[in-house]
Every structure is written in C-alpha cells, then in structure tokens.
A and B are shown apart, each in its own frame.
Chain A
C-alpha cells in the first residue's frame, strides 16, 4: 500500500477553473439550496447541461459518447460539484459506476445502446444488490433469474433501492444457478433491467424523516432478454466486486458536509467569531486537505492502471467517519436549536446532516465490511 502524492497539471487546473465558472453562473453561491454530497437532487436539466460540457461519463471512450478523460479529471469535476452541493443525483450512479461496468464487461451492442445516452446525462440507474436477507453478506442473494426462451424470468425482492421511483434502469446482481456448498460466489450474474418492465413493482420505504429515497423492488415473473445480461452468466460476483472499487475512495465519501460548513462561514461573515469556531474552521480545512490528497492519489493510481482496492477502502472508511465527525463538532459548537424548518440555511443543512449522516458509514458497504477488506490487504491476504 502506498499513497503517492500527486498534484494537478496545468490542463487539470484549467478544468477546475472551468467547472468553478460554470457553477458560479448556474448556481450562484448563497442563492441556491445546496445538496449534501451525492445524496443530491435529481435534475435532468442540470445533468444535461453538465453532459453538454462533456462532464458526464467523461472517462468513457469517445467512441461510445464519452470524452476520453481520466479518473483525475472526473475527480476534479465531481469534487467541485459536491462541494457546491450541485444537483447531480440523476446521472450520479451511471457516471460513477454503471457506465464503467458496461464498458468493461458489456457487449458492443450494450455499449452502443447505453453508453451514449449515459454520456448525454439522460439515463438514471439504480443499483440492485441488497435483499431482505442479504446485506453485508452480499453473496447470499437469492433473487433468481431462470432460463426462458431468449431470456430470463426474474422473481424475488431487492431492497434499499435508492431512487428506483425516479430512475430508468436497474443494474442487478441475481442468482442464475443454485448456491453451491463451498463456493457461494458462483452462480451469480449481472443484469440490466428496465424499471418500467411489466411485473416489476416499486414500493417506497420512507426514510426516517419521512422523505422518499429508498424503495423495495419486487419482481413477479419479470422477463429480461438475453441481450441485457452483462458479461458472462455466473461471473456476476467478480464483476460486482470490480464495480464496488469504482464506488469507493472518491470525493463523495468525504465531502458531504462541506456545503454546510461553507454556509456557516458565509452566515458568520461580518460578526465577531468566537475562537473556538475559528479554530474549528482551521481544523476542518486541514483535515480536508489531508484526506483530499489521499483521495486524489487514488484517482491518479487508477489512471496509472492500478486497481487500488485497499487504498480505496481505507479512504472510504476514513472519509465517511470524518463526515460524521464534522457534523458532531458543529453540533457541539452551535448554541441554537435547529430544525429542518430553521430560518438559517446553515441550520437547515445541519439538521439534515444530523438526520441523514448515520447512513454515510453504511451505504455502499458498511465500514465494518470495509475494515475487513482493508485489513486483509494490509496483511497481504486476498480480499
């Protein structure tokens, strides 16, 4: 394990300037209600504007509608969007991981069909991994796809499916062969499923504050054509593990409370600041500087052809805990009672952080699972 320091090149710095100018024009600071990191609003129009700049699916090849850009260039766009609290929700999953999975494991026909509209910011994807009886022990999934003429028939239930009620497609890990003794990773396959398919039922699971992000998705004899199987049937576990590496270690794992902190500083302008509050801004800037340097070095490693899965797991485990620590420090320091209805934007954002951030160390792999992945890597064992 080695995190090599890296820094942005001239053209990369230009991209950063371009993104900042775009955001300042589209979402003037103080005049929009920032989102909290990747749990961002879905705004097809905003996604289309980003796509017009070449900033959605940007690391995908131009042959398939992408911009032939690098992981570092994507990092620059993503960090600016997230720190600004931009509404990147609609294209988020497709841009971060599904596009990569289709490029890496999909057929040319699938690439032709899915990648150009992903790069236009048109397609929203949900992820179908967890089930009522399969969470951290993901290999135990039991939603089945059974062979039929020219395709598969799916039965079972996926759960905690973010935004299935708003998205277009569903990338699912399904069991295509019975679980074998001693090799539970065999017999799993990845499918692309139209969320409008007949027999597919989407029911909300209200979030603790009553908002609607999560869903339960039930399959009643849903037909999926052969052309929607990603890669080889039976190789789903390997493909899915590769996909998870794209999920980890990026700015979405450590920037979620940034817009809240920035707003506190904005609202504090012009009034004398207590030393403890000033010191906290200093501490947070230092911690973010350190974590950002680690996270950026992971992106550079990916561009150098490495697969930094241990490094990614370490950054995600640290970054998501840090997000919670930031919120706790703010709560300790602020005298006022706050709520989602507070007059101050900072207080509204903080209230939202307090209520939603316990999920940050759970989504996309709990920190307990990440520790297991990372510590095997530290000991030189296979993950």
Chain B
C-alpha cells in the first residue's frame, strides 16, 4: 500500500487518432489548404469534420455535444495542427461549446466562435474597447469592437465571457447582429474584427471557475496542441527534404551542419508534444494552471527555434508558396502569439515559482499544479 496515491490514468482512444488522421490526410492536401487561405474558409472540410462528431468532442452529450474527454479533444487538435486543417475546431468545440454548456445556454445551429480574452483586460474577454449591459430578462446588449476573433466571418454565433458584480457571465450573440470585418493572421486564417453596435444576445451566469482566466488557459492549451502537431509535421518535411536534396554529391542531411537543424527541430517537436499531452492530461483531471502555462511558454519558444531550423535546412525552397513548409511555419508564428505571449506566461509562471519559494521549486517541477496547493 502506498501512502501517496497516483491519479487515475487518462487514456485517449486510439480510434480517435486513426479516424481524425485519416480524414485530414485525405482532405487537407497542400492545394486544399492553400485554397482555404485564398478564399477564407474550407466549408467542405468543416462539413466532413462535423460528420465525424469531432466538432463537438469533449462537449457533454446532454448539452448537444459528442462527449469524450478534454484529452481526446486535444488529440484531435494536435492532428488539426499536423495537417494544417483550415478549420475552427478549437473555437467551436472545447472553447465555445464548453462556455455555452457551462452556462447552460442553448447551442444554436452552425459554427460557434469565441472572442479571445486579452491578458491585459481582466475579466472581460472582448477587450476594453467593448462594453456589455445586462437586461433583467436574460438578454444582454453589446457595443464596441472585439479583435482577432477566429473565423467570425463564417460563424453563426459569437460567444464571449465577462464579469458582472464578481459573477462570470457567458454571452452568446448571433453573428447576424454584428458587423464583421475580415482580417487574416500570418497564415491567412480568419482573425476578424467584430463590431457589436448594440447587438443583443443571450446571457447566463457561469459556474465558479468558468471565467476569462479559465478561457485563457483552455485557449492556450488548444494552441499548444495545434503547435505540437505543426512542429512535428514541419520536422518530418525537413527530414524528407534534406534526404532528397543532393548537393556536393550527397544528400544534404549527411552534412553535420544540416544534422544540427534536424536534431534541434526533432527535440522541439518532442518537447511540445510532451508538453501538450501532459498539460491535457492534467487539465482533464482538473485545474492545471502550471502545466498549461508551462506548456504554452515552452511551445512558444520551441516554435521560434524549430521554424528557424526547418527553414534554414530547406534553403530557398522553404521560402516559396509552392512548397508546403509555410503552411506550418506561418501557423506557428501566428499561434505563438495567440492566447498568451512568452512574456505573459513567463510572468504567470514567475508568480507561481517565486510563490512556492526555494524549497518548493523542485516539487513544482515534479508535481506541477499539485505543488501550488
């Protein structure tokens, strides 16, 4: 009998990896991903994705979702990143679907997106340029602009979270009530501006622990998963390319100087996938502020190193639109900045690390969030 109890294992059904991998492998060709960028969406890929039920994975069945664990949803997002699938899988499911289910708000048909919280803006996810007022009848009126809202142009519903008198409140607004200005991120993924201009939506209080901070963490975890997939694929492209490209009579991968790039990229791929899987495991069990913050910071830094290494190893070919490396590197440069920069998460982690003190520092590294209690 042991004194300290290990938590129950968190298992991801292999069928999920297989099914999502096969689906994206067939649909997310280089051409299809490029076409989605040019047109601002990929409705056919989204439709096929929805047919599998993965669009609402980890959203409880009683709330109209597909069920499954957060860890399983994170595995699907890893594959979205690996195939650069141009779809709002995170926004519709573990972010928007989660907020609506938690607040007990009805889930309308069609795509749901979420206004990402800004670190500096405290409780209100729309940023300081927006304001919201609650009516007594469960409706809310929004004004102002929300920025960098993923896939808002294709969404039926825009969801945000804000605070009233210390109570976290989820607001769900029909996109038809808003004016949406398309804007891309660096990978050409939609990150639109939403003007509310007096839009009316439904509002409901969220349970304790469902607030802008929690959304920021969940959003960060979603980006780590996407980044883990993208770095792994970028790394595989680089190994293949450097084995095929012959210079000075041999594949360039045989040169030590090139091998250094391959090794460094492989390390970062392994590091970010590990970070994503451990953070997902802990977040599936409960609160995981340390693991998620650590994972996002590690992923942000790894994205910087790995994109540099993979581009360098590819030479000029990696700088062209014709070769697919950019689908991954540009997404990584964008995702690195979404849901918390290096500076933001370093500061959060710094508070935790200095808070536990010298004797608590190593236990924080080995036990994570559990050591903060």
Tell me if A375 and B294 are in contact (CB < 8 A): no
CA distance A50 to B170 in the complex (A): 56
Tell me if A283 and B349 are in contact (CB < 8 A): yes
Tell me if A3 and B273 are in contact (CB < 8 A): yes
Q: Could you write out 19 A-B pairs with CB less than 8 Å apart?
A: A3-B270, A10-B4, A10-B5, A13-B4, A13-B5, A14-B2, A14-B3, A83-B362, A265-B353, A278-B353, A279-B343, A281-B350, A286-B294, A292-B365, A293-B274, A294-B270, A314-B267, A378-B239, A379-B262
Tell me if A279 and B350 are in contact (CB < 8 A): yes
B-binding segment of A96-104, A117-125, A173-181, A366-374: A366-374
Sample of 7 further A-B pairs with CB below 8 A, known A286-B297, A375-B262: A262-B362, A283-B297, A285-B294, A286-B294, A287-B298, A375-B253, A375-B259
Tell me if A285 and B352 are in contact (CB < 8 A): yes
B298 contacts across to A, CB distance below 8 A: 286-287, 289-290
A281 contacts across to B, CB distance below 8 A: 349-350, 353-354, 361
Within 8 Å of chain A (Cβ to Cβ): is B321? Answer: no
Tell me if A275 and B263 are in contact (CB < 8 A): no
CB of A13 to closest CB in B, whole Å:
4
CA distance A10 to B2 in the complex (A): 5
Within 8 Å of chain B (Cβ to Cβ): is A1? Answer: yes
A-binding segment of B81-89, B98-106, B124-132, B275-283: B275-283
CB of A287 to closest CB in B, whole Å:
7
CA distance A317 to B265 in the complex (A): 12
Tell me if A290 and B275 are in contact (CB < 8 A): yes
Within 8 Å of chain B (Cβ to Cβ): is A318? Answer: yes
Number of interface residues of B (CB under 8 A): 52
B270 contacts across to A, CB distance below 8 A: 1, 3, 294, 311, 314
Contact with A along B255-294 (1 / 0, CB 8 A): 0100110110011001101110110010000000011011
Tell me if B278 and A5 are in contact (CB < 8 A): yes
Interface residues of A in 228-265 (CB under 8 A from B): 258, 261-263, 265
Contact with A along B346-373 (1 / 0, CB 8 A): 1111111110011101101110100000
CB of B120 to closest CB in A, whole Å:
15
Contact of A288 among B266, B281, B365 (CB under 8 A): B365
Tell me if B239 and A379 are in contact (CB < 8 A): yes
B256 contacts across to A, CB distance below 8 A: 368, 371-372
CB of A42 to closest CB in B, whole Å:
24
Tell me if A371 and B259 are in contact (CB < 8 A): yes
CA distance A261 to B301 in the complex (A): 20
Closest 5 CB pairs of A and B: A282-B349, A10-B2, A282-B350, A278-B350, A286-B294
Interface residues of A in 1-21 (CB under 8 A from B): 1, 3, 5, 7-14, 16-17
B357 contacts across to A, CB distance below 8 A: 265-266, 269
| Chain A interface, >50% SS class | helix
Within 8 Å of chain A (Cβ to Cβ): is B176? Answer: no
B6 contacts across to A, CB distance below 8 A: 7-10, 12-13
B275 contacts across to A, CB distance below 8 A: 290, 293
Tell me if A294 and B271 are in contact (CB < 8 A): yes
CA distance A273 to B6 in the complex (A): 35
Contact of B361 among A261, A280, A311, A371 (CB under 8 A): A261
Tell me if A266 and B368 are in contact (CB < 8 A): no
Number of interface residues of A (CB under 8 A): 57
CA distance A285 to B275 in the complex (A): 13
Within 8 Å of chain B (Cβ to Cβ): is A215? Answer: no
CA distance A275 to B347 in the complex (A): 8
CA distance A374 to B2 in the complex (A): 38
Tell me if A371 and B260 are in contact (CB < 8 A): yes
A7 contacts across to B, CB distance below 8 A: 6-7, 281
Contact of B294 among A5, A9, A13, A289 (CB under 8 A): A289
Tell me if A5 and B281 are in contact (CB < 8 A): yes
Within 8 Å of chain A (Cβ to Cβ): is B181? Answer: no
Within 8 Å of chain B (Cβ to Cβ): is A47? Answer: no
CA distance A80 to B362 in the complex (A): 9
Interface residues of B in 4-33 (CB under 8 A from A): 4-7
CB of B282 to closest CB in A, whole Å:
9
B52 contacts across to A, CB distance below 8 A: none
CA distance A200 to B211 in the complex (A): 71
Tell me if B366 and A16 are in contact (CB < 8 A): yes
Given contacts A275-B347, A375-B259, contact A13 B353 (CB under 8 A): no
B365 contacts across to A, CB distance below 8 A: 285, 288-289, 292
Given contacts A278-B350, A279-B343, contact A263 B274 (CB under 8 A): no
B359 contacts across to A, CB distance below 8 A: 29
Tell me if B358 and A266 are in contact (CB < 8 A): yes
Tell me if A282 and B353 are in contact (CB < 8 A): yes
CA distance A290 to B349 in the complex (A): 14
CB of B198 to closest CB in A, whole Å:
40
Tell me if A17 and B4 are in contact (CB < 8 A): yes
Tell me if A282 and B346 are in contact (CB < 8 A): yes
Tell me if B350 and A314 are in contact (CB < 8 A): no
CB of B83 to closest CB in A, whole Å:
19
Within 8 Å of chain A (Cβ to Cβ): is B243? Answer: yes
The residue among A7, A262, A266, A368 with the most chain B CB atoms within 10 A of its own CB is: A7
Interface residues of B in 283-330 (CB under 8 A from A): 290-291, 293-295, 297-298, 301
CB of A312 to closest CB in B, whole Å:
12
Tell me if A265 and B361 are in contact (CB < 8 A): yes
CB of B259 to closest CB in A, whole Å:
4
CA distance A360 to B354 in the complex (A): 28
Interface residues of A in 336-374 (CB under 8 A from B): 368, 370-372, 374
CA distance A374 to B243 in the complex (A): 15
